Structure 1
């Protein structure tokens, strides 16, 4: 059975634009998924990337065009300048980790609810109220937002270390057990083909 390690950031617009396509691909191929939220700014710092706010205006202008185009292409609501971005991504990341450890809900839906809260719903995913609502929507106990902080912090840091070790430099990145990496929601089609054995 194939396995996918999903390295992502809860503030990433590209993770939001991925929707639930990863889960659909995994189901189609009988693959399992481990969700590995990480600190994308720390990942940039360790792998030679530049945070969005420090990029050249040309790059930022293209990013704005591309995000808007991708959202339109996918038929997804999208705010290019959300009310609560950037914000602290650790609390929402810890919630994903706690939910994965607890089980009983839909992790893909949880991740999508969190990223949708940022990029479509104008909510702050650093706030407990927003995180609890996302947990509930995905079938998890909303009290998970208040638990597992130590384990969450340790796992969050470990996810970053693992990402760097495995060659990840951006998010979302889909790492499969064959050693292949697929960076970006626009590479999900390639991931699908790889799992099908045609790429």
Structure 2
């Protein structure tokens, strides 16, 4: 009997769209029988590794307008019936560091529970600043990983190596931003707004065996 279809979910904990997509992953698993593996990446590292330059993006492109993005995010939150607050007042001094903390949590086999709690702290609770101190507190409170263990894990070279590996794997699979999903190691689906297409890809992969 074949195992479940595996979906690799590449996310940044600093991305509101990744937060929204993450709230729907349990539903996807229940409805399709797939398994979602969460891989934290720095969005900027991924975009750069994929060969794109954020600095060259047109500042007048409609999708980047702050008023539109805020409305778009709030619409998705209502659609999903999940809590969401605007995050403009949340200080994130080093977003790649947040992704690194999620990698460290994965090494303790607590990646998903930590990532969910961290994104909730940012995009629901408005915890600020979103820094190492917040990560240490969340690791301790949600996964029982004591600060004297979690802090050093964030500094280990192996944690940085894994972060780079996840970015490289994402680019190899065709990802160019977050959130991205790779279904059964073959088909990439990009964006929170394409979860219906993700579901379709999972069901097709399941049918194909």
TM-score range, shorter chain: 0.7 to 0.9
Do the aligned partners of residues 171 and 32 (structure 1) sit closer, same or farther apart at CA in structure 2, a change above 3 Å counting?
Answer: same
Give yes or no for the alignment of 1:146 onto 2:151. Answer: yes
Do the aligned partners of residues 51 and 73 (structure 1) sit closer, same or farther apart at CA in structure 2, a change above 3 Å counting?
Answer: farther
The equivalent position to 1:194 in structure 2, one of 183, 194, 201, is: 201
- Partner of residue 67, structure 1: 73
Q: Provide TM-score, normalisation by structure 2.
A: 0.78
Q: Provide TM-score, normalisation by structure 1.
A: 0.81
CA distance in 1, matches of 2:161, 2:107: 13
- Partner of residue 95, structure 1: 101
Q: Encode CA deviations 1:136-181: one digit per residue, 9 max, x unaligned.
A: 4533414353032222211111211222222101101111225111
* Bigger Rg, structure 1 or 2: 2
- Partner of residue 15, structure 2: 12
Residue ranges of structure 2 left out of the alignment (5+ in a row): none
The equivalent position to 1:155 in structure 2, one of 148, 152, 162, is: 162
CA distance in 1, matches of 2:129, 2:32: 32
Do the aligned partners of residues 24 and 145 (structure 1) sit closer, same or farther apart at CA in structure 2, a change above 3 Å counting?
Answer: farther
Structure 1 residue matching 2:177: 3-state secondary structure: coil
| Alignment root-mean-square deviation, CA | 2.9
Is contact 2:7-2:34 (8 Å) kept? yes
Number of residue pairs matched?
Answer: 197
The worse-fitting range, judged by mean Cα deviation, of 114-123 and 89-98 is: 89-98
